[in-house]
Amino acid sequence: MRSTSSSPDPAAFDTRRPVGQNEAVSTTFPRTSKKMLGYNLKQVEEFLESTRHAYDDAGGTDQLTAADIRHTAFAMQKGGYSPSHVDAALERLEDAFALRERERATGESGSQAWLDEARQTAQVIINRLGRPAGHRFSRTSIFSTGYNKADVDRLAAKLVTYFQDGHPVTVDDVRTAVFRPQRTGYREAQVDLVLDSVVDVMLAVR
């Protein structure tokens, strides 16, 4: 069961990995080879430092949120940090910030108000995703590409059953969803916005 303590979860900020019983422990992420692209080293380090300060300064004016972490992007460089390892760390950070946001909100307004808001958001999502297949989102023109409609519709159907019937879908299922490109496909910005809301609701009630 997830802890409800307001203390930060050290694992959320832990980028270290054991390399052997008598070896030093790395304080950074694994890096790609010199010929492969990874995340920009400086940007990753600076972002992690800013998240540590934001988390420690819980009563301050820093407004970094779980959604901000979810939308973070880094430039690419050869020999950079392994994207998969950095992404995994960002997901842990997002979870930690989401938990703190929930604790803060329930402390101010009560848990029932928090859950009511999550239910209202979920209903808006259901109304959108419950539309007929092929018509859930606006489509791009024939001259541009969007998300493959069948791919998005498949995930949308699963999410509707998740919200209505408790069909098992995880936050990672939504976070890692990938859609093929398609001419006259769904507009990416619209799909991404709804999936962001899905993640927000999932984190709010987990």
2 is a domain residue: no
Task: Tell whether 77 and 150 lie within a shared domain.
Answer: no
Taking only the tens place, the pLDDT of each residue in 158-198 is 999 999 999 999 999 999 999 999 999 999 999 999 999 99
Task: Tell whether 103 and 117 lie within a shared domain.
Answer: no
Which of 86, 109, 132 lies at the terminal end of a domain, its last residue? Answer: 109
Using the predicted structure, report yes or no on whether residue 53 has a pLDDT greater than 70.
yes
Q: What is residue 206's predicted lDDT score, i.e. its pLDDT?
A: 80
Task: Tell whether 115 and 196 lie within a shared domain.
Answer: yes
Within the chain, strands assigned E span: 37-39, 76-78, 145-147, 181-183
Give the residue from 76, 49, 84, 83 showing the smallest Cα distance to 64: 49
Largest CA distance in the chain: 60
Number of domains in the chain: 2
Indicate the helix (H) or strand (E) that contains 127. helix 111-129
Buried b (16+ CB within 10 A) or exposed e, 89-102: bbbbbbbbbbbbbb
